[in-house]
Amino acid sequence: MAEQQTYNVAIVGATGAVGQKIKKILEDKQFPVKQLKLLSSARSAGKEETFNGETIIVEEAAPESFEGVDIALFSAGGSISKQLAPEAVKRGAVVVDNTSAFRMDKDVPLVVPEVNPEDIAEHQGIIANPNCSTIQMVAALKPIKDAFGIGKIIVSTYQAVSGAGNAAVEELYEQSKDYLEGNEVNAEILPVKGDKKHFPIAFNALPQIDVFGDNGFTFEEMKMINETKKIMHDEALNVAATCVRLPFATSHAESVYIEVDQEDLNVTDIWKTLEAADGVILQDNPEEQEYPTPQSAQDKEEVFVGRVRKDLDNPKGFHLWVVSDNLLKGAAWNTVQIAQTLVERGGLKK
Amino acid sequence: MAEQQTYNVAIVGATGAVGQKIKKILEDKQFPVKQLKLLSSARSAGKEETFNGETIIVEEAAPESFEGVDIALFSAGGSISKQLAPEAVKRGAVVVDNTSAFRMDKDVPLVVPEVNPEDIAEHQGIIANPNCSTIQMVAALKPIKDAFGIGKIIVSTYQAVSGAGNAAVEELYEQSKDYLEGNEVNAEILPVKGDKKHFPIAFNALPQIDVFGDNGFTFEEMKMINETKKIMHDEALNVAATCVRLPFATSHAESVYIEVDQEDLNVTDIWKTLEAADGVILQDNPEEQEYPTPQSAQDKEEVFVGRVRKDLDNPKGFHLWVVSDNLLKGAAWNTVQIAQTLVERGGLKK
């Protein structure tokens, strides 16, 4: 029996929220790791981490860090990816990038393994992990699109604070405490770190995620629109998004309206399709008040769908409520899934 | 100069969240009150309240409470309205009812004074105040519909906990404290008091407001759908709603997609229409991060609109973000506005 092939893996942004989840998933899923490198900024270098019972010292990420690395999983922000991903590729690594740096590049596959795993084969060194809010939506909608066609998507999101990083979660909890104790509430991070104004997120809703573009849509909304078309291989698909940040730490929820290509479908047809879909769990029983919530989806890998309803006016219209852990399927788990698929399909053989 | 006519006014549910706001607005707006009666359940009867500097003892509501009353403002739940509103009418009062008891009755006008004040004239004793989430949406959309036509509305709501009453707000704050202190979180009220299951609202989102109907939509969603058509006098209008409860106390927000009848409109056309609209304030400047939030709309009478965007695919499609204080324009203020309009239009003359 042949020994299982193993790989040198690097995590860039290893001490961040997503980096930590990636490390845990590599352990939990027994990813075939030969050696794991944990890379970070200078500030976090030197920290001790454990992986499969062994201690690993976090190193500062530099071009030469990627010598001998087979797979580099990037989750340290777009500017780090832009700077170091090409260096990793130059040294023979395949990069799975969890930032927006390369997602819309023609030469970079944008992959949700349940949706378009075949795109991985076309990589030229970098494979991009889509935006968290995109991943869960396309995972739920692709099986419906394959079965019945989808021409139009209108989504309003209910997004968790952890999408803006650990410091934003701390801000939510600090603000919540101050609000409950009647103290002044300070806003320094959300809606967007580095933008001109900041507003409280505790006991509030902020209709801004990422900065605004000239067309009035935010970058987050444009990511959902453009990435969905790219992943679905359908430039003619109509997609509209309104993205809203809400006061909970984990899991994004989405109110999704779709128009399918057929007039004679009913809720049962959508249910059957979702029940058969990889990575999707149907939680839809109004009579028993069964539907997913951000808290019920937390720490779970799957995308949960409930509240499926046929539109009362448009026979092609359906409404769905889609929830998933934004740090897992929306980030760390999808990243590792891409690496797994890459390995299984032989995409790492040189 | 003729003396201003004054009226005997009763508030039913005077000690509740909305009843208290109604009393304050009657004072603030110097409503022409001759005598104010505060009515409640037996439990709250005997409480002392002040109105225009005078002490009023809360009385238990009974059929004979309405003898001599000109205007009765009901906000004590649907069953109380069903029982006592006809008794008030029998005794010569005009009832403005802030429950769902009579909203869809053919003989009962359903009124947002900025939208359909003329309907008041057709009352037969009872005028209904629409559901909070409906009021703010139609206030924002009616001027657009009048100017450009609207054929389709798809709304996803972000609704405050106070819509479920004061006890639900206490539950939100108790749960929030327990969550932050690492204690067990108890859910006993939301999503719906008296329904089979309860889920935490603190740091969560619940896609259920009111109970479920057989078609998979909740009653709250059906209220938005049916009431919008009735208020707009347009049974052919397509309306779809997904209603979600969120962890903040005050103000509902709504992500609204509309399809107008014209293809050549742009955002400026919508802006101009909203700027000229009664009771609506446009807050829409992405460059300066100006948009309404639940906290910014709190304690204000108006309906705030921001994030106006033209759909990128459908030339007739527009997206809006509509926010208003659910206890004021969504309830108490709209109720008093109806009474004001009634008085101004002579609807109380016998």
pLDDT 10s digits, A19-33: 999 999 999 999 999
Indicate if A132 belongs to the active site. Answer: yes
**pLDDT at residue A1 tops 60:** no
Given a contact cutoff of 8 angstroms between Cβ atoms, the answer to whether A56 and A20 are in contact is: no
Would the annotation count A289 as a binding residue?
Answer: no
**DSSP code string of A252-293:** EEEEEEEEES-SS--HHHHHHHHHTSTTEEE--BGGGTB---
CB-based contact A205 B257, cutoff 8 Å: no
Given a contact cutoff of 8 angstroms between Cβ atoms, the answer to whether B288 and B242 are in contact is: no
In Å, how far are A86, A131, A218, A327, B22 from A165, measured between CA atoms?
Answer: 25, 14, 18, 10, 43
Residue A174: enclosing H or E segment and its boundaries?
A: helix A166-180
Q: Given the DSSP bridges, would you call strands B150-158 and B126-128 parallel, antiparallel or unpaired?
A: unpaired
Q: Could you tell me if B235 lies within 8 Å of chain A, comparing CB atoms?
A: no
Q: Specify the amino acid at residue A163.
A: G
Which chain A residue has its CA at the smallest distance from B315's CA?
A: A238
**pLDDT at residue A349 tops 80:** no
- pLDDT of res. A244: 98
Q: Specify the amino acid at residue A276.
A: A
Give A-chain residues touching B307 at CB under 8 angstroms: 207, 216, 242
Give B-chain residues touching A208 at CB under 8 angstroms: 289, 291
- pLDDT of res. A346: 84
Given a contact cutoff of 8 angstroms between Cβ atoms, the answer to whether B10 and B70 are in contact is: no
Above pLDDT 90, what percent of chain A? 97
| Best mutation target, A193, A204, A283, A308, to test chain B (most B CBs within 10 A) | A204
The alpha-helical segments, DSSP class H, found in chain B are: 17-28, 78-90, 132-148, 166-180, 219-232, 267-275, 294-297, 333-344
Give B-chain residues touching A154 at CB under 8 angstroms: 154, 257
- pLDDT of res. B2: 58
What parts of chain B have a pLDDT lower than 70?
1-3, 349-350
Residues 6+ away with beta carbon under 8 Å from A210: A192, A218, A219, A220, A223, A243
Domains within chain B, CATH numbers bracketed: 7-129+331-344 (3.40.50.720), 134-326 (3.30.360.10)
Higher pLDDT among residues A290 and A350, named by residue: A290
Give SS3 for A102: coil
- pLDDT of res. B347: 76
In this structure, is the dihedral angle defined by the CA atoms of residues B113, B328, B131 and B338, taken in order, positive or negative? negative
From A123, A132, A233, A243, the catalytic residue: A132
**pLDDT at residue A348 tops 90:** no
Would the annotation count A162 as a binding residue?
Answer: yes
- pLDDT of res. A2: 58
Tens of pLDDT, residues A164-212? 999 999 999 999 999 999 999 999 999 999 999 999 999 999 999 999 9
Cα gap A81→A102, rounded to integer Å:
8
Indicate if B252 belongs to the active site. Answer: yes
**DSSP code string of A190-245:** SS-TTSS-----TT--BS-SS-B-TTS-BHHHHHHHHHHHHHHT-TT-EEEEE--B
Give A-chain residues touching B193 at CB under 8 angstroms: none
The complex's ipTM works out to: 0.96
Tens of pLDDT, residues A237-256? 999 999 999 999 999 999 99
- pLDDT of res. B159: 98
- Mean pLDDT score of chain A, rounded to an integer? 96
Give SS3 for B132: helix
Nearest to A242 among B173, B212, B319 (CB): B319
CB-based contact B293 A199, cutoff 8 Å: yes
Q: Specify the amino acid at residue B196.
A: K
Q: Given the DSSP bridges, would you call strands A252-260 and A150-158 parallel, antiparallel or unpaired?
A: antiparallel
- pLDDT of res. B265: 98
- pLDDT of res. A325: 98
Which chain A residue has its CA at the smallest distance from B312's CA?
A: A240
Helix axis angle for A166-180 and B166-180, nearest 10°, is 130
Tens of pLDDT, residues A96-140? 999 999 999 999 999 999 999 999 999 999 999 999 999 999 999
Q: How far is B331 from chain A (nearest CA, A)?
A: 20
